Structure 1
């Protein structure tokens, strides 16, 4: 654990794509090192993504990863991260009341949406030091800025049921479908949930 377990950490948020420039070389190298060591016992999937897959998804252009960086005595640490991308949203299996609440006066069965694909806090930090809601707020901020340029009504997450209930439902997300779990997590129940960006 870093610092007082009850004290919120101070941090900065960086897009991995933005720190690839030569002038940020030291920061970029330190972030890469911390991601390679990222520990998240709550989710082997998120830990593996940070350690082995984040660069592949960045290079492919499927998503953008943002790191939550905090100071350490001798360097920096990655206390958490999130990824934002695009996806398709299927309303066919949503309850009619949920569909109406989300769609309003414009009805369609499929539409494009922003996606928060990964969201994680490192084991070295408590939920008091870095609440999940704080990481989610940072992801929402990125999406709101993107929406100002390219529009977009919805943001989608696929989450374990308990994470949906604890983190996403209080933030205004509505359950719209049952989701397929990531490879290797076949025994865990996932749901697809959706929120309306303009409601934030």
Structure 2
């Protein structure tokens, strides 16, 4: 497990696809059990994704899920997770200044991008024990590795405005547009934001 600053949990990050290989059967069973019981009252969308939709998205290849695993009560627990996939970045509604900063002298208004589609911490852990910035840094590490093989300039997130302002904006993400909220959060404002991968 990774070394952690005082007050933070020690953890390892595993791709769910890797955990589910035959040689990790016991770990896979425990991780799946913890995901089915994952608590995230701040976002019932994320809670529901962990409990019932993660396998479908994983099996169909729409995204890859990474679990943050820690030791707890003489077993392992899923303290958080994130998903990484691909999406299209449409800059048509972005301001001219934002487009210029992101695209430079390239005149495309639509391009491919990495996507951090889900990012969550279990309610069983505080932000001091597992800061959102730590989970985001792990997602960025996965994207950096992918970029070394297949290139790619941008990473996109759709996030609640307050999450954007507290987590993604300080990490260099720029607001592009308002985003369509998940069906169960239609009364919450979401934004689409992106960052340039090589600036990390």
**Pairwise same-fold verdict (TM > 0.5):** yes
Partner of 2:146: 146
Partner of 2:76: 76
- For structure 2, which runs of at least 5 residues remain unmatched after alignment? 1-5
Instruction: Check if 1:199 corresponds to 2:199.
Output: yes
Partner of 1:61: 61
Distance in 2, Cα, partners of 1:198 & 1:107: 19
Partner of 2:96: 96
Distance in 2, Cα, partners of 1:189 & 1:29: 36
What are the superposed Cα offsets for residues 52-76 of structure 1, whole Å, 9 maximum, x if unpaired? Answer: 0000000110000000000012210
Which region of structure 1 is more displaced relative to structure 2, 56-65 or 17-26? 17-26
Which runs of structure 1 show a deviation greater than 4 angstroms over 4 or more consecutive aligned residues? none
Structure 1 position 112, deviation (Å) = 0.3
Distance in 1, Cα, partners of 2:73 & 2:184: 37
Distance in 1, Cα, partners of 2:140 & 2:103: 19
Q: After the TM superposition, which residues 104-123 of structure 1 pair with which residues of structure 2 at under 5 Å, given as runs?
A: 104-123=104-123
Give the match's secondary structure for 2:64: strand
Instruction: Say how many residue pairs are matched.
Output: 195
Q: Normalized against structure 1, the TM-score is what?
A: 0.96
Q: Normalized against structure 2, the TM-score is what?
A: 0.96
Distance in 1, Cα, partners of 2:61 & 2:183: 21
What are the superposed Cα offsets for residues 18-67 of structure 1, whole Å, 9 maximum, x if unpaired? Answer: 11111100110000000000000100000000000000000110000000
